[in-house]
Structure 1
Amino acid sequence: MSAAERAVADVRAQVSAEEWATRVDLAACYRLVAHFGWDDLVFTHISARVPGTHDFLINPYGLMFEEVTASNLVRVDLSGNRTLPSPYEINPAGYTIHSAIHQVRDDAGCVLHLHTMAGIAVSAQKDGLLPISQQATLILLSLSYHDYEGIALNPEEKGRLQAHLGNTRHMILRNHGLLTVGRTVSDAFMMMFSLQRACEIQIMAQAAGGNSQLIGIPESVLATVPEYMKQVTRGAGTGLVWPALLRKMDRVDPSYKE
């Protein structure tokens, strides 16, 4: 075994139980994104804050999402320095986006960014996400937009990204893709599931006749969504879904936990 392989294999012994649990959830999230066909080769990225620190975990640049494990996730600080030995580099654009959000959002336990076809298609539309589906009503409660500035390598973009995101939980990056900010990995994933589904529905509905044929949801109905969500989730939130998703990943390939 090489020194690099040993560094990855020994990670569990070097981290707290809380960090290891976060690593397992984040690796599962990467596998779920691949399972649903939302990945973009080795591009896009998901990060999770290391509990009790300002560091965050992110994918090893160059690995497919189905290759991500709890051990090979890279731990970095807000300056992009690795704070745990790793043979892997990280995506520079991923660092720009994720460090910007983790820096200013104390509630950003997880930041999930994707380049799905439906998400990019909606991000390129002037009106953005339309209130035409039940899924969209969930997103419109907390949605922001950020204009495209090219590949996210310019550190000066961080301030604009932070300002546009504000306190929202969902963001559509114009001409680019989708982003969610969750208190936990499971929160961010479920937010992305709804956002991605809303975009898919919109593109399919528009294909059947364009915006002129769409039926919008009235403002009076949109106003009832917060209370409706409390009743549907029974206060459990993603606790109803995440354990089932982990069981799915265990059936598909449990190696994410390694």
Structure 2
Amino acid sequence: MAQPRRVRLRHLLAAWSIAVALVLMWQMLAYRGLMALAAEWEFDAFGHYYPALTYLLLVVVLGSPILWLIRGRADEELPGRTFIRTLLAVAIGCAVGSAIALATAIAQPDDSGNAARIVVGSPSAEGAATGAATLVGDVIEGRVAGLSENLFVARRSSRFAPIVSPGNRGSGETVRYFVELGGGNTLARARSDGALRGILKSQALPGELVRLFRYAGIDVARDYRVLFATRDSLTWPYRVIAVELLLVALLCAIAALGMHLHRERNRQAGGKILPD
């Protein structure tokens, strides 16, 4: 009975680790929960945020019961198949996560089709659909917030400013729209009539910028929207996460392959290996 119970326990622990990995993946893509808290702590402590590394560390810590699956005796010299399979499972999980992040990037709206014209502060601005849009309003250029992101595979600086109803200049108004700025705080894709053309996305500001705007006294609506200048800037975070997770997957796969080859060479040489 001990062996079936051990197998069932392994399956339960593996299911727990998979659930942890999926929840943290959603939090990383949506900037929610523990991943958001970890990101803000990293920015405060180091001035940088490494999403793939943060994700992997949290999966290891919260999914630590999986370590029970790969433990071995102290006198054993080489990793057994369970450890190699665990590395392969991590590689597959990161590869799947990379595919999910890439699919999320592909699924983002673009600026094709007719752009909805939205006058900020008007009834039509409430709950406006995402996608191609033209915003009419006043940009509060004195309340620009910027963020520099130095990641493993890429780096960029982005700036955003609130946009409020025409003539209001933000006096006591709840801010429901933000606009991405170009270089030198110039308005990205501004039209000759002063309207702004871009891609509207719901709740797409980096979480630390939302916190910064609120600290500055700006009343940010819960269901705010961001007007991005291009689809590249909108999908950039998802594409970077996809590349970083893919790199982690490749490293784990290479490590598993190296351990497997080492194990087989040791087997052929008559060395001691872990039981399967």
* TM-score normalised by the chain length of structure 2: 0.21
Structure whose residues are more often strand by fraction: 2
Query: Considering only CA atoms, is the larger Rg found in Structure 1 or Structure 2?
Result: 2
* TM-score normalised by the chain length of structure 1: 0.22
